[in-house]
Amino acid sequence: MTEKQKIYAFYVITALFIITNSVVIITKESFLFNFVPLLLIVFFALFFAMDKVLMFSVFLVPLSVPLQEFYPNLDFNIDLPTEPIFVGIMLLFLLKQIYDRNFDRRILRHPVSIAIFVYLTWGLITVLTSTMPLISLKYWIASLWFIVPFYFILTQVFRKKANINKFFWLYIIPFVIVIAITLIKHAPHYFSQHTANYIMSPFYNDHTSYGAMLAMFIPVLVGFVLNKELKGSLRVIAGGVLAFFIVGLLLSYTRAAWVSLVGALAVFVILKFKINYKIVVVTGLIVAVGFFGFQDRIFVSLEGNKQDSSTDLKEHIKSISNVATDASNLERINRWNCAIRMFEEKPVFGWGPGTYQFQYAPFQFSREKTIISTNAGDLGNAHSEYLGALAETGLVGMLSFIAVLIFIFITAVKNYMRANTYSLKLITASTICGLTTYFLHGFLNNFLDIDKVAVPFWGFAAIIVAIDVYYLKNNNEDNSQIENISEKE
């Protein structure tokens, strides 16, 4: 095709698009056809630069908006523009692997990967036994379009060490925009606690998922500030962003996120001072035994706390342990009790992935209901990654999820101990501390079914596994060889 013919073709295609789009707008009153050029660009980019599309999609995650924000009466929901891109990446990758079968077997055989395979396999089994098969199948497939791109594919992207920091910043930069918008919208309400519950919408569902991600990236930003191998200007910028994140976290009034950072700090202390794991395990067992042994006295003491959620930060912190009058805390207990009762009725296969919100209502006791209780499941699910998995996929499902977390944590600790550079130690420490915030947050909320949380969660796991496989001396290739390979790719 000559240059003249290309120009004619361009004008013809442009004219056809304008005419078609105008007809759709006039007859259907819909602007969705405007997305066609973008979809075509993404489609072709997937074939020629999948890694770049994947990394760019990370940038879009904090800014993505649910489809129901534009069409509230739809029976389904999906985050735009991210989730359609994730689906395309997943399908193309799986088709490519069926044809090439050249994926790095060291990743596939890694303990974290094996645990993920078990988790997904059991999830598929519980789809077949589900009380609502279509709901469960959709939920399981949705978990695939998070895990395949942001765990398996990202491990290959992270063969180039520079991409690890790029991944962090590609989420952090747009997140700064979201925080700024949230604070600007929040200011006219005098940063009240009540307004903080929803003011970050439509980017984040509510303050809990928003706060969870603020907490998750704070250790990463601390790592940038402490990393003496980075340029001074970048460390200063990271310090400013860190301060901004801390302000955002405080004004989110997300108590679970505040508590999770304390846990992350404890993990950092354990890593930094190389505290023997036996001491950690024994201490944990003592605390657990003490809790269960004196739980009656503990709950009697907690019931004496009448401090409800408040704009006053001191009072809000005190309300964390209020299980007598605080509606948020009491509703969590209500949901947890429902999850346990659901498990008792179906202990092996559970009710099916994604079904909790549709099935828990009959398991509520009137004496446990609160002013915010609902039978519609429209105010969150089980409020626990662990109890949610227990109710939906049975004991094996919950244990398989916990196994994924344990192997991630074990791998990270080993990475930290074996890392031979200051930079690798900091990356490992900040990543596992970030994940720890969500491990702890998972006791109080469950967000792994939304892109805002699933992408960094599985991405952080990919970083830990990639460091283990590609950057440590116990592997066949040393660090310099990996860097050389990565530069050529």
Q: CA 450, CA 62: separation in Å to the nearest integer?
A: 11
Identify which has the larger pLDDT, 400 or 98.
400
What average pLDDT does range 303-326 have in this prediction? Answer: 53
| Structure token digits, residue 462 | 């990919």
> Does some domain include residue 6?
yes
Q: What is the pLDDT of residue 30?
A: 65
Q: What is the pLDDT of residue 486?
A: 39
Q: What is the pLDDT of residue 59?
A: 96
Residue 84: cis peptide before it, omega within 30 degrees of 0: no
Q: CA 257, CA 443: separation in Å to the nearest integer?
A: 11
- Mean pLDDT, the chain, rounded, equals 85
> Does some domain include residue 434?
no
- For the chain, report the end-to-end CA distance as a whole number of angstroms: 32
Q: What is the pLDDT of residue 224?
A: 96
The share of the chain scoring above pLDDT 90, in percent, equals 56
Instruction: Give pLDDT tens digits for 54-89.
Output: 999 999 999 999 888 777 777 777 888 899 899 999
CA distances from 371 to 103, 132, 341, 368, 381 (A): 52, 29, 21, 10, 17
pTM: 0.86
> Does some domain include residue 465?
no
Query: What total number of domains does the chain contain?
Result: 1
Q: What is the pLDDT of residue 314?
A: 52
Identify which has the larger pLDDT, 448 or 8.
448
> Does some domain include residue 106?
no
Q: What is the pLDDT of residue 325?
A: 58
Instruction: Give pLDDT tens digits for 88-142.
Output: 999 999 988 888 888 999 999 999 999 999 999 999 999 999 999 999 999 999 9
> Does some domain include residue 429?
no
Identify which has the larger pLDDT, 287 or 141.
141
pLDDT at 293 over 80: no
The share of the chain scoring above pLDDT 70, in percent, equals 80
Q: CA nearest 57: which of 33, 34, 77, 85?
A: 85
DSSP 281-323: HHHHHHHHHHHHHTHHHHHHHHHT--PPP-SSHHHHHHGGG--
Identify which has the larger pLDDT, 44 or 206.
206
Q: What is the pLDDT of residue 393?
A: 97
Give the 3-state secondary structure of residue 79.
Answer: strand
Q: What is the pLDDT of residue 10?
A: 58
What average pLDDT does range 191-197 have in this prediction? Answer: 89
Domain that holds residue 2: 1-53
pLDDT confidence bin for 476, thresholds 50/70/90: very low
Q: What is the pLDDT of residue 479?
A: 44
Q: What is the pLDDT of residue 323?
A: 53
Lowest mean pLDDT among 10-14, 215-219, 463-467: 10-14
Q: CA 284, CA 338: separation in Å to the nearest integer?
A: 27
pLDDT confidence bin for 487, thresholds 50/70/90: very low
| Structure token digits, residue 428 | 């490992």
pLDDT confidence bin for 23, thresholds 50/70/90: confident
> Does some domain include residue 211?
no
Q: Which stretch, 353-357, 373-377, 442-446, has highest mean pLDDT?
A: 353-357
Phi, psi torsion values for 205, nearest 5 degrees? -60, -45
Phi, psi torsion values for 65, nearest 5 degrees? -130, 140
Q: What is the pLDDT of residue 177?
A: 96
CA angle in degrees (0–180, nearest 5) for 86-450-97:
30
Q: What is the pLDDT of residue 354?
A: 93
Q: What is the pLDDT of residue 484?
A: 42
> Does some domain include residue 32?
yes
CA distances from 237 to 58, 230, 246, 250 (A): 20, 11, 14, 20
> Does some domain include residue 34?
yes
